[in-house]
Amino acid sequence: MPTTIKAQGLTRKFADNIAVNGLNLEIEEGEIFGLVGPDGAGKTTTMRLLTGILEPTSGDGWVYGKHIVQESEELKENIAYMSQRFGLYEELTVLENINFYADVFCVPKNKRQEVIEKLLGFSGLLPFKQRLAGKLSGGMKQKLGLSCALIHTPKVLFLDEPTNGVDPVSRRDFWSILYDLLKDKVTILYSTSYLDEAERCRRVGLIHKGRLLRCDTPDNIKKEINVNTLEQAFIKIVNDYESKHAK
């Protein structure tokens, strides 16, 4: 499988705070990779670096063959980024929101209808086409956000805590949409603070204080730490790191 996302020594400082510290990562095409870590760990900064929104202090990265600094404009053609506070227009309807993103991404008018019907179909939003986005439930809003992000059929998807605060049923719907995308070889970088979601990823990276402390399949991480749950594994890994660096 070709590598779709690659980071090499990726580092970003804000004054003397190192938000991302020497990140090395390779994510394969068609893989869903979970980025997990406590508040302020560096998840959003990693996403912003890899989507070419923020420049690194040092290090390199490539997404779908495009360099994150030198080719940041070309890179954006292949990706979608659903940020932690994804912008929907609350006073526009579901359909108007999705059409707005279709305009932004220059989706040809003759192809638009088919893509919109498909996206609203698999996110279960067809019956709510005319509803104002501001009147949707939290889970529906996130599904609409995902539909907007997918309007230009991206090859790589960056999702920053997309199901935060969403009920378990809507989270399950959201994941079934993601599994469909994986069948089409879309590559997904998914940050989450829910460890049941991390379990569903093919591999997981545990990030803490800007450092990638572990990167492996959920099963391998649990085996290595000799515990039953990812939660126990992550607590142990973070505690070990803290006691080593306390001096």
Ligand X SMILES: Nc1ncnc2c1ncn2[C@@H]1O[C@H](COP(=O)(O)OP(=O)(O)OP(=O)(O)O)[C@@H](O)[C@H]1O
Query: In angstroms, rounded to a whole number, what is the distance separating the alpha carbons of residues 10 and 238?
Result: 21
Query: In angstroms, rounded to a whole number, what is the distance separating the alpha carbons of residues 156 and 160?
Result: 13
Size of the site for ligand X (CB under 6 A): 12
Asked if 44 is part of the footprint of Mg ion (rule: CB under 5 A), the reply reads yes
Report CA torsion sign: 146, 149, 154, 159: negative
Residue closer to Mg ion, measured from CB, 43 or 141? 43
Asked if 93 is part of the footprint of Mg ion (rule: CB under 5 A), the reply reads no
Asked if 208 is part of the footprint of ligand X (rule: CB under 6 A), the reply reads no
**Residue in 14, 2, 23 with CA at minimum distance from that of residue 68:** 23
Least separation in angstroms between residue 45's CB and ligand X is 3
Contact map string, positions 67 to 106, toward ligand X, x by CB under 6 A? -----------------x----------------------
Tokens (6 digits) for 18: 């190192």
Asked if 41 is part of the footprint of ligand X (rule: CB under 6 A), the reply reads yes
Categorise residue 12: left if φ over 0, alpha if ψ from -120 to 50, beta otherwise: beta
Q: Which stretch binds Mg ion (CB under 5 A): 38-46, 64-72, 167-175, 180-188?
A: 38-46
Residue-level length of the chain:
247
Residue closer to Mg ion, measured from CB, 12 or 43? 43
Choosing from 1, 8, 17, 118, the residue that interacts with ligand X (CB under 6 A) is 17
Q: Where are the beta strands (DSSP E) in 66-129?
A: 66-67, 79-82
**Residues found near ligand X in the complex (CB under 6 A):** 14, 17, 19, 37, 39-45, 84
